[in-house]
Amino acid sequence: MEGFVFSLILLVVIGILAYYRASLTLFTAAIAVTLAAGTFVGPVGLVSWIVFLLIALPLNIAFIRQRLITQPLLGVYRKIMPEMSSTEKEAIDAGTTWWEADLFRGNPDWQKLHNFPIPRLSAEEQAFLDGPVEELLDMVDDWEITHDRADLSPEVYQYLKDKGFFAMIIKKKYGGLEFSAYAQSCVLQKLTSKSMVLSSIVGVPNSLGPGELLQHYGTDEQKNHYLPRLAKGLDVPCFALTSPEAGSDAGSIPDFGIVCKGQWQGKEVLGMRLTWNKRYITLAPIATVLGLAFKLQDPDKLLGDKEDLGITCALIPADTPGVKIGRRHFPLNVPFQNGPTQGNDVFVPLDYIIGGAKMAGQGWRMLVECLSVGRAITLPSNSTAGIKAAAMSTGAYARIRRQFKIPIGKMEGVEEAMARIGGSAYMACASTTMSVGSIDLGEKPSVISAITKYHITERMRLAMIDAMDVHGGKGICMGPNNYLARGYQGAPVAITVEGANILTRNMIIYGQGAIRCHPYVLAELQAAYNEDNRAAVTAFDKALFGHIGFAISNFFRTFWLSFTGAAFSSAPYSDATAKYYKQMNRFSAALALMSDVAMGTLGGDLKRRERISARLGDILSMLYLTSSVLKRFQDEGRQPQDLPLVQWACEDNLAKAQLALDELFDNFPNRLVGVVLKRVVFPWGRTLRRPSDKVEHQVARIMQTPCEARSRLGHHLYLAGKDNNPIGMVEQALRDVLAAEPLFDKVTEAAKKRLPFFRLNEVADLGLELKVISEQEAQILRKAEASRLRTINVDDFDFNYLAADKALLASEQQSAAKVNAA
Ligand SMILES: Cc1cc2nc3c(=O)[nH]c(=O)nc-3n(C[C@H](O)[C@H](O)[C@H](O)COP(=O)(O)OP(=O)(O)OC[C@H]3O[C@@H](n4cnc5c(N)ncnc54)[C@H](O)[C@@H]3O)c2cc1C
């Protein structure tokens, strides 16, 4: 019995030390003290001390440890470690990790999260949003862009160039605006709320493209030539990577260049002959300068002793002889400029390579580094605005539209769809703000950009579907007054570009996250690749034993946090949000544990087990998104009105994290490990629940009722109630209808009749007749009726208006007329 009690005490001591991540020395000392106490009391004898010394001495004496343990393990590790192509290595090396690494490591420091500065606009950036951005939005008519022209008007293009919209990332010394990532995000959000075509055309030159690449890698000559021209809009850039044969697998592009001598402007120079066939290239049809990615070969070794130099990026003026450009693709009725380009044996000098000849073969690294920044800004911002616009318009419409004599937004079934939109809008804005904020802190967040790109575009697609369902026929019938259909149609574009979503979820988020965020895996890999064996053993030893301690700690943390439901773990606040921090402590520890288990049991195979990787990535993503929600709540002053939105987002995310973990255990390739660990992580089953009906009702209420929480939801959108801004007109209609409701009640009460809430102009007349309302109040009712009708009505057109080929139609009509006449 004494022995059993002592074993239990020893286990508790080990557990506490592991939970608090004690060092090996402290571990050894604490166990020695416990054993000494055991010897003093009785149950610990000589055998226990011998076992202890046999384990503790080799572990604590570096020389013995490295010889007996590390060296053989390094040999085994080298045999099973995942093989990596040079493009994969470069992708992993590119970019930085930030807060997501803390979440990955099992023990997040919440104070650190809340201490990250709140992104803010400078006075100049705010003035740009209030001035040129609004002026531009007043100029554009989305129906004209998407239906009549399939393009922006020449005046709008000119305005974009004149005001520097294409130069938000370009430094001031070259004539650009040099805006923060946060300001770029706000501009893009505001543009998206009126026109996706507009925000796509503005987003691309400010994202991954010649401007970004030149600023980071260009020679002084290239910067001085191109950047001022790009800033003034004298050059329009595009960037061409994708080929028909190489989409997601962009590293395998077949496009190539051969280093050779040739004639250039009357002189013989060292250059390259380029052959390419690219497609899907945004802005290509109107580009004057083409950023081109190709594989450079040097068969005659004119640049050095390497024949295959690898992926290289160059800037090719579009008027270079042999460049074919100008045709258009037609992406899902959201006709931003996008098209193919080809070139066959086009000779250009070597100094067209971005960064000059010394950057030959460095293209892949350049691209992945820049992508980690651009991917966190453009698509998340545009998609966030899409969700927010859906939340505002659906909220307003659901309050105005009545069926069965009540606003449809009061029906429980509709509330469910609305809550998904509203909660996602709050969360998307929170995570986009936090992610762009990290860029302004100097990060190049490759994992975060993949998380936000994937999850925000997916939420946007769902929000569009939900919004469409709530709007019914109003959403389906297209025309100048439809503010929803283009977003619904265009949603798959965001899903596909900058890393198609299935690939991003299954390979990129966790694939990069596991290696980048893990405190030891990258160091182990680097040590294993080191050809100097002594240095390799020393580095591997440090990483390996750190890793073992980390894994033991995560096991005990997971066990304790799961067993107690994380009730005793730390949270920075003791209010309604405390439970979310605590659950995140638990899931963070479980993620760290399962990462090591997955890597340890699957080794290099984990790369191919995409669904395991995807679920681990889902857990990391849900932790990141939830922490961004809690940060937003804190940064905005913990507004009690916003709590339902916070609750919805946190509970929805945490339930998704729980599901991902559960499915991970159920599908874990090693069944024994899956079953045992499921018991450790879910000792009481799946205890977390999705948001309740009550919370969803509260979210739907916020969306339908003008209040501060609702205004925060629509922050950064363009909601001016102007004729060519349909989403702003619905907002206006909401205000008009709400103003009329008490007057309507007054009249129906006086008339002692239950009138339907329409023909409000007749209600106004009745009110005047009964002398219960003033003429001014009657006007409010008439205005509400006009707004109500404008909101629920849809566009219709002349019979021939919708035919794109008017000439065909006219000739057919003429033939029919002739037949009739005959
Ligand atoms: C409108 C538009 C604009 C674009 N703009 C540009 C641009 O300006 N410049 C440029 O260079 N490119 C651009 N692209 C290309 C875009 O980035 C690619 O479309 C994208 O990389 C996907 O390639 P793909 O369409 O050929 O799909 P594929 O690569 O054929 O993929 C098909 C499906 O397979 C999935 N998949 C592929 N590999 C894996 C994997 N290993 N694991 C799991 N799933 C996988 C993908 O997720 C996808 O669902 C644009 C594309 C579009 C449609």
401 pLDDT higher than 80: yes
Please write down the HEC assignment for all residues of 617-666.
HHHHHHHHHHHHHHHHHHHCCCCHHHHHHHHHHHHHHHHHHHHHHHHHHH
Average pLDDT of span 654-667:
98
User: Tell me, what's the pLDDT at 807?
Assistant: 84
Residue 83 CA to ligand 1 center (angstroms) comes to: 24
User: Ligand 1, atom 30: nearest CA belongs to which residue?
Assistant: 247
Average pLDDT of span 286-294:
96
Kindly state if the Cβ of 282 falls inside 6 Å of ligand 1.
yes
Residue 293 Cα: closest atom of ligand 1: 11
DSSP bridge partners of 260: 271
- ∠ CA 85-90-95 to the nearest 5 degrees? 145
Confidence band (pLDDT; 50, 70, 90) for 93?
confident
pTM of the model: 0.95
User: Tell me, what's the pLDDT at 745?
Assistant: 96
Pocket test for ligand 1, best of 199, 208, 239, 280 (most atoms within 8 A of CB): 280
44 pLDDT higher than 90: no
Pocket test for ligand 1, best of 497, 498, 611 (most atoms within 8 A of CB): 497
Residue 248 CA to ligand 1 center (angstroms) comes to: 5
Residue 493 CA to ligand 1 center (angstroms) comes to: 10
Residue 200 CA to ligand 1 center (angstroms) comes to: 17
User: Tell me, what's the pLDDT at 209?
Assistant: 82
User: Ligand 1, atom 4: nearest CA belongs to which residue?
Assistant: 280
Residue 282 neighbours by CB under 8 Å, 6+ apart: 200, 204, 238, 336, 337, 338, 497
87 pLDDT higher than 80: no
Residue 574 neighbours by CB under 8 Å, 6+ apart: none
Kindly state if the Cβ of 500 falls inside 6 Å of ligand 1.
yes
Choice among 100, 498, 524, 696 that is catalytic: 498
Please write down the HEC assignment for all residues of 236-288.
CEEEECCCCCCCCCHHHCCCEEEEEEEEECCEEEEEEEEEEEEEEEECHHHCC
Average pLDDT of span 125-150:
97
Query: Rounded to an integer, what distance in angstroms lies between the CA atom of residue 199 and that of residue 68?
Result: 61
Longest dimension (CA), the chain: 120
Does residue 612 sit in helix, strand or coil?
Answer: helix
Residue 500 Cα: closest atom of ligand 1: 47
498 assigned to active site: yes
Single-letter amino acid, residue 1: M
**CA distances to 125, 186, 425, 729 from 120, in Å:** 9, 10, 20, 29
Average pLDDT of span 113-139:
98
User: Tell me, what's the pLDDT at 619?
Assistant: 98
Kindly state if the Cβ of 654 falls inside 6 Å of ligand 1.
no
388 pLDDT higher than 90: yes
Sign of the torsion formed by the C-alpha atoms of 126, 626, 487 and 788: negative
Instruction: Please write the tens of the pLDDT for every residue from 583-594.
Output: 999 999 999 999
Kindly state if the Cβ of 287 falls inside 6 Å of ligand 1.
no
Instruction: Please write the tens of the pLDDT for every residue from 712-765.
Output: 999 999 999 999 999 999 999 999 999 999 999 999 999 998 899 999 999 999
Torsion of CA 462, 464, 467, 472, to 10 degrees: -110
Confidence band (pLDDT; 50, 70, 90) for 149?
very high
Sign of the torsion formed by the C-alpha atoms of 291, 295, 300 and 302: positive
Kindly state if the Cβ of 384 falls inside 6 Å of ligand 1.
no
User: Tell me, what's the pLDDT at 114?
Assistant: 98
Residue 250 Cα: closest atom of ligand 1: 21
Burial tier of 353 (Cβ tally within 10 Å: 0-12, 13-18, 19+): buried
Residue 669 CA to ligand 1 center (angstroms) comes to: 29
Instruction: Please write the tens of the pLDDT for every residue from 329-387.
Output: 999 999 999 999 999 999 999 999 999 999 999 999 888 888 888 899 999 999 999 99
Residue 220 CA to ligand 1 center (angstroms) comes to: 33
Query: Rounded to an integer, what distance in angstroms lies between the CA atom of residue 631 and that of residue 581?
Result: 11
Residue 496 CA to ligand 1 center (angstroms) comes to: 5
DSSP bridge partners of 269: 262
With CA atoms as reference, report the closest residue to 657 among 682, 620, 684, 612: 620
Kindly state if the Cβ of 252 falls inside 6 Å of ligand 1.
no
Kindly state if the Cβ of 494 falls inside 6 Å of ligand 1.
no
- Do the Cβ atoms of 370 and 213 come closer than 8 Å? yes
Query: Rounded to an integer, what distance in angstroms lies between the CA atom of residue 206 and that of residue 359?
Result: 22
